[in-house]
Chains A and B, each alone.
Chain A
Amino acid sequence: MIEVINLMVGLLIYPGLAFSLAIGGVFYWLYRKVRARLQARIGPPWYQYFMDLIKLFSKESVIPYSSRGAAMVLAPIFSLTSLVLVAAMMPVGSESIFGFDEDLIVTLYLLAIPGLAMIIAGNVSGSPYGSVGSSREASIMVGYELPYVLSALTVGFHLRSLSISRIVSYQLESGAFFMKYPLATLAFLMCLLPKMGRRPFDAPEADTEIIGGPLTEYSGLLLGLFEVANGLKWFVIPAFTVNMFFGGAANPIEFLAKCLGVVLFLSVLDIIHPRYRIDQGFRFFFKWILPLALIDFVRSLIWP
């Protein structure tokens, strides 16, 4: 009984859904605010993200006649579920609640699902813009997923361990990994931009070219679920980065401060860049980012 309650609290409140959503929503607002300030605007108030959510949940959800209804409803749920699971496994501060010995691999898999959910969403919604969006998402995914996994595994190979808690505790003793593997860190950070759908690699969701991308036909509750997943991404992905490369943290406050640093870095990169065409983005990943990740990956194998 106690275990079930613990599990529910872990999944739904701390560090699962509620906590991650609150922090992620604030981080997302921060991104919008920084963007507004750098463009000499005022920007939205801090509760903007949550108001958007409540409004979307209170609207009518239309499931178009030309879509495949079941898959259209399931796509946001896939995305959301995987992100909640990752959030529950992520060590906030030094200890993780549901961490186990191979959680690095599981996290890598689960973090690929939001991208897949986007591809499903675009294809089943029965809109040509959606199909274009998902084909773009699929091609950029081929580009970034490989260097992303390689640079994450670099750390795992260095320690001969696949446990995130182990990686964090090692870094707390002997310094963060971004000192030892700067190239892998850089590659990892670059891969986060398309993962979160940010410029210069936001071609899949380019609202000036293909309307809403995969989300064109989504409305109301279903769009709201995708918005929730987006908010969770703004916490989960920086948190994963901090745990892997920036030394984790001994307590939650320090941890959130480090996440904030990653968020600000990604936001500024997003704001100062225009959008790459899909082939340019793809080429960038294969020409520059993959070699960077490979160099450090090989280094971790032969000279840890």
Chain B
Amino acid sequence: MLKALRSFARRKSPWIMHVPCGGCNGCDIEVVAALTPKFDVERFGVLQKGTPRHADILIVTGVVTAQILDRLKRIYDLTPNPKHIVAFGSCAVDGDIFREGYGFAGPLDEVLPVDIYVPGCPPRPEALIDGLNKLLKRLK
């Protein structure tokens, strides 16, 4: 009973933190667009938080560059358990066109455990909502 309540609460109140890595900024704009009145993710209980301490879900956009690698790991460590990662955009999924670049430090899932992939360049805000929805369905 308590467990059911807890998992219901976790599904109903995912607080996200947006972590922009080395992308082209296209994905960042789409993530922010998902928070605007037109798409309104607050109706699913999603709130955007600025600090990893408050977050349940990290939304990572852009390629993981050599510059951001340590900081990304640190942000991940700062987030309290249970935590989840969404790889948002082709860059975060596999590196996309920046794959051959000198600053590329591996696709996101080789660095951190990714829970859900949202491909696209950039994905639409609906895709983010769909991805979040699929992730939330799996939560215990």
Contacts and interface: CB of A to CB of B under 8 A. Distances in A.
B97 interface: no
A218 B53 contact: yes
13 contacts: A39-B37, A41-B42, A42-B40, A43-B42, A47-B12, A48-B12, A53-B9, A55-B9, A55-B13, A55-B56, A58-B6, A208-B50, A217-B51
A168 to B, nearest CB: 37
B26 interface: no
A42 B53 CA distance: 27
Contacts of B82: 59-60
Contacts of B78: 62
Contact of A51 (B12, B40, B50): B12
A37 B5 CA distance: 28
Nearest to A206: B50
A190 B78 CA distance: 38
Interface string A90-121: 00000000000000000000000000000000
Contacts of A212: 49-51, 53-54
B40 A55 contact: no
A32 B10 CA distance: 19
Nearest to A217: B53
A219 interface: yes
B53 A44 contact: no
B1 to A, nearest CB: 13
A42 B129 CA distance: 15
A160 B84 CA distance: 59
Contacts of B13: 48, 51-52, 55
